[in-house]
């Protein structure tokens, strides 16, 4: 089992990433779960390189690697490769990060109007990335992405399963999930992260739930407010993730729309995995 979830890669995010517990970890070998320290960002390229190594090692001993997780950028980078974007000029990056969201959106609209149209203004991370690339390299991110390198999609046989349960069912589970996290150690986990005084811009500190629980610890939110805010953030991400997996992966990848606690989805998924065995 190889993790493809961008939060579960961090050792410091066990509860808030819903990482597998001891019983699950004991059932089969698990790889890339809790592998990175929170202070060390794990980029899509970093993960893809590590995943490729794990896949090769599994094949060498006759095992079938199973990738699980919903970080589409990780999976796309592994299968399709990564754009060979040169290192960003540190001064450009600093200027982009210091500017307001409104200023960055205005600059992006001027330098890369296609990206400005495609990205939601609230998606500050991707907006800043697109802007710093075009400012630093003189080419848009889409132009670089047309030259992807290093993907393994043509080297392996992929049997994919995309789970798209009913949205209302999914959002209800999101609410239950965050409430369970808050009750089962999320506060202690975030308190330990805050004690490390990490850069607030590292991915682990921007993981869903960290900001909301941190506000609870600091007294900026009541428990009820933190619960509501964390659940909303989870639903917002689930909505974006749902849309991405519904439309971005190859059309021939099967989509299952039953609730995940129904036997129909389980049986259909098992049938697919066994189809060519």
For the packed helices 72-80 and 223-247, what is the interaxial angle rounded to 10 degrees?
30
Classified by CATH at the fold level, domain 90-147 comes out as Histone, subunit A (1.10.20)
Look at residue 265 and tell me whether its pLDDT is greater than 70.
Answer: no
Instruction: Provide φ and ψ at 260, rounded to 5°.
Output: -70, -10
Length of the chain: 277
Look at residue 104 and tell me whether its pLDDT is greater than 60.
Answer: yes
Is 2-82+151-274 assigned to CATH 3.40.50.300?
yes
At 268, the pLDDT band (50, 70, 90 cuts) reads low
Question: Pick from 219, 122, 216: which is nearest to 178 by CA?
Answer: 216
SS percent in the chain: helix, strand, coil, step 5: 55, 5, 40
Separation CA 83–CA 86 (nearest Å): 9
Q: Domain limits of the chain? A: 2-82+151-274, 90-147
The answer to whether residues 32 and 78 touch, using CB atoms and an 8 Å cutoff, is no
Instruction: Provide φ and ψ at 2, rounded to 5°.
Output: -115, 125
Separation CA 277–CA 273 (nearest Å): 8
Cut 0.75: pTM above it: yes
Domains 2-82+151-274 and 90-147 share a fold: no
Q: What is the pLDDT of residues 56-97, one digit of tens each?
A: 999 999 999 999 999 999 999 999 998 888 999 999 999 999
């Amino acid at each position: 089992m190889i993790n493809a979830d961008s939060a579960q890669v961090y050792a410091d995010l066990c509860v808030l990433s819903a990482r597998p517990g001891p019983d699950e970890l004991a059932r089969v070998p698990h790889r890339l779960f809790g592998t990175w320290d929170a202070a060390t960002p794990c980029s899509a390229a970093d993960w893809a390189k590590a995943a490729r190594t794990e896949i090769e090692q599994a094949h060498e001993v006759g095992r079938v690697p199973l990738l699980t997780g919903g970080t589409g950028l990780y999976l796309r980078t592994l299968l399709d490769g990564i754009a060979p974007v040169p290192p960003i000029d540190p001064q450009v990056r600093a200027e982009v990060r210091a500017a307001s969201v409104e200023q960055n959106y205005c600059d992006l609209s001027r330098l890369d109007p296609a990206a400005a149209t495609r990205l939601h203004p609230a998606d500050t991370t991707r907006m800043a990335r697109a802007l710093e690339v075009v400012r630093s390299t003189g080419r848009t991110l889409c132009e670089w992405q047309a030259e992807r390198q290093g993907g393994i999609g043509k080297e392996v046989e992929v049997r994919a399963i995309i789970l798209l349960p009913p949205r209302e069912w999914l959002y209800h589970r999101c609410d239950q999930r965050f409430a369970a996290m808050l009750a089962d150690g999320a506060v202690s986990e975030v308190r330990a992260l805050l004690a490390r005084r990490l850069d607030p811009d590292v991915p682990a500190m921007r993981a869903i739930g960290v900001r909301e629980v941190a506000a609870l610890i600091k007294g900026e939110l009541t428990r009820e407010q933190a619960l509501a805010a964390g659940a909303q953030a989870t639903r917002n991400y689930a909505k974006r993730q749902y849309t991405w997996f519904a439309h971005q992966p190859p059309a021939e990848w099967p989509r299952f729309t039953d609730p995940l606690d129904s036997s129909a989805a389980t049986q259909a998924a098992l049938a697919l995995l066994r189809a060519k065995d």
